[in-house]
Amino acid sequence: MSNQRVPQATAERLPIYYRSLQRLVSIGKTRISSSELGKIVQVDSTTIRKDFSYFGALGRKGYGYNTQRLLDFLGKTLYQDELSKVILIGVGHLGTALLNHNFKKNNNTQIVKAYDINPSKTGQQIGGTVIHHMRDLATDDNRDIAAAMLTVPADQAQSVAEQAMASGIRGFLNFSPVRLSLPPDVYVRHVDMTVELQALIYFLNHGMEEKQSE
């Protein structure tokens, strides 16, 4: 692998490439060009070639990429050859939906434990995952957990994240509509669906305004 630092934008596209290659391999496609892959993932071929160049020579000029070889490489790069354990904190409507889904199409990621403040949910199972009471979070040993998904109200997110950190968590997928203030060695991905929807509506309307002005 190249010693170059991989940009965040490139790292964020790798799972998209990986998922598409899984489908391609499953239907028997053995090789693909960057332009073909670009049409599938809606990323221009120049960007794809640049993304892959950070990892050395993954393809051959005039041939393209061996889909199985590229899939295997990305699988190792994304740590898909080992089980990633995840916990979920906040078993409301969104949390329940995530538990019911529980990465059924990804055998390498699994929600192994959930937490909620409601005592009536303690001991219940949703999607095969047992729900624990929030008071157990800070004292549990979660050092073998890859990340926590936060689906709690905004006013609880910071304190809940700090409790999770005390249990050993160092990565968060935050669905709460608030930015977390955590140490620099803790990685956080914010998923604010309201912001995403507002951005989508803006681009839709902006695109319509541009067409009307032409």
Binding residues for NAD(+): 90-95
Give 28-34 contacts, CB < 8 A, sequence gap 24+.
Answer: 29/67, 30/66, 30/67, 30/68, 31/63, 31/64, 31/65, 31/66, 31/67, 32/64, 32/65, 32/67, 33/64, 33/65, 34/59, 34/64, 34/65
CB 87 within 8 A of CB 144: no
CB 200 within 8 A of CB 192: no
Count the helices and strands in the chain (H runs, E runs). 7, 9
- Give dist(CA 163, CA 49) in Å, integer: 42
